[in-house]
């Protein structure tokens, strides 16, 4: 009888102790996290906002890339070649007069590297960092010749040579011939350094005040091309910039005698105007 009574009392004590522990556990759980239910909506809202922002940014990037891919497919090599055969690179006639400053677009910033390893950003304008760091003089007029493929090198020369001959004694002019190299492998530092050494050309205008500066632009320049409306990559693009870096005149392909005359005339007018 005593043994049975002891068992009953022991069982009740254990049950009471377990209930006490459970009560303490439950109390502690809610004491430590009593603010959690009120914080959850804010946490969910923050997470949702971040995910929405990420999806929006990702969606825009996808749309931009899709538009670019479509554009590149529509204007591929074969389309350029077909067009080139039709007009020989002369996609349009050169401007006969200067483009008014009010309607002229700004030349996009372009990083150019020269064969000696030096680099700068075009255009050289009064607010350019290059002027402050390199003590460069802001030219009144700059002729920038752009070549995206080797096929346009001769076209570039048809403009730059007569320009150099006519204004070779001027200190307030700049002449740049820029070739674009878009292969990522050639843009890697060791290969680029070697390539620049190979591409180094002798200076045939040492006695000329105006120097022909040959530079190279490495990397992807899709958006640069879009800004200045470069469509056919097989032809050359000739741009005359004023002191503020605005495009005031442009020519394409191989220069005709009449177009060379227009280039020289517009350059003289810009020099007087600046």
State the DSSP string of 2-51: HHHHHHHHHHHHHHHHHHHHHHHHHHHHHHHTTTHHHHHHHHHHHHHHHH
The structural domains of the chain, with segments of one domain joined by +, span 2-28+38-64, 82-273
What fold does the segment set 82-273 form as a domain?
Glutaredoxin (3.40.30)
Question: Sheet containing 173-181: which strands, arranged edge to edge?
Answer: 119-122, 110-114, 212-218, 173-181, 141-147, 236-241, 247-252
Give the model confidence (pLDDT) of 41-66 as tens digits.
444 454 455 445 555 567 777 777 77
- Residue predicted with more confidence, 18 or 129: 129
Give the model confidence (pLDDT) of 150-200 as tens digits.
989 999 999 999 999 999 999 999 999 999 999 888 888 888 889 998 888
The span from the CA of 48 to the CA of 50, in Å, is: 5
Average pLDDT for the chain: 80
The span from the CA of 243 to the CA of 238, in Å, is: 17
Q: Is the pTM of this model over 0.85?
A: no
**How confident is residue 31, by pLDDT bands cut at 50, 70 and 90?**
very low
Task: Record the tokens describing residue 260, joined without a space.
Answer: 């060379």
Instruction: Check residue 123 and give its pLDDT.
Output: 95
**How confident is residue 128, by pLDDT bands cut at 50, 70 and 90?**
low
Instruction: Check residue 129 and give its pLDDT.
Output: 64
> What are the C-alpha distances in Å from 144 to residues 112, 164, 252, 253?
12, 12, 12, 14
Instruction: Check residue 54 and give its pLDDT.
Output: 52
Give the model confidence (pLDDT) of 72-117 as tens digits.
666 677 888 888 889 898 999 999 999 999 999 999 999 999 988 8
**How confident is residue 28, by pLDDT bands cut at 50, 70 and 90?**
very low
Give the model confidence (pLDDT) of 140-152 as tens digits.
999 999 999 998 9
Give the model confidence (pLDDT) of 201-233 as tens digits.
776 666 678 989 999 999 999 999 999 999 899
Contacts of 199 (CB under 8 A, 6+ apart): 115, 216
């Amino acid at each position: 009888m005593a043994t049975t009574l002891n068992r009953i009392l022991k069982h009740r004590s254990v049950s009471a102790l377990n209930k006490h522990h459970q009560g303490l556990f439950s109390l502690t759980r809610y004491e430590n996290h009593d603010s959690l239910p009120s914080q959850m909506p804010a946490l969910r809202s923050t997470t949702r906002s971040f995910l929405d922002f990420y999806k929006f940014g990702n969606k825009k990037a996808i749309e931009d890339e899709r538009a670019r891919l479509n554009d590149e497919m529509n204007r591929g090599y074969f389309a350029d070649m077909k067009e080139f055969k039709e007009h020989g690179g002369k996609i349009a006639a050169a401007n006969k007069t200067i483009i008014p400053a009010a309607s002229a677009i700004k030349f996009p910033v372009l990083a150019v590297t020269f064969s000696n390893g030096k680099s700068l950003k075009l255009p050289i304008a009064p607010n350019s960092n290059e002027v402050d760091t390199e003590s460069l003089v802001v030219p009144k007029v700059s002729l920038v010749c752009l070549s995206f493929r080797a096929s346009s090198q001769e076209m570039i020369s048809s403009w730059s040579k007569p320009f150099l001959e006519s204004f070779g004694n001027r200190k307030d002019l700049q002449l740049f011939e820029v070739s674009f190299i878009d292969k990522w492998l050639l843009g890697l530092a060791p290969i680029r350094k070697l390539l620049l050494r190979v591409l180094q050309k002798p200076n045939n205008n040492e006695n000329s005040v105006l120097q022909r500066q040959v530079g190279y632009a490495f990397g992807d320049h899709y958006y640069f091309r879009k800004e200045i409306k470069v469509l056919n990559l097989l032809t050359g693009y000739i741009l005359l910039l004023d002191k503020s870096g605005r495009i005031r005149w442009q020519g394409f392909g191989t220069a005709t005698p009449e177009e060379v005359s227009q280039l020289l005339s517009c350059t003289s007018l810009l020099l007087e105007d600046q």
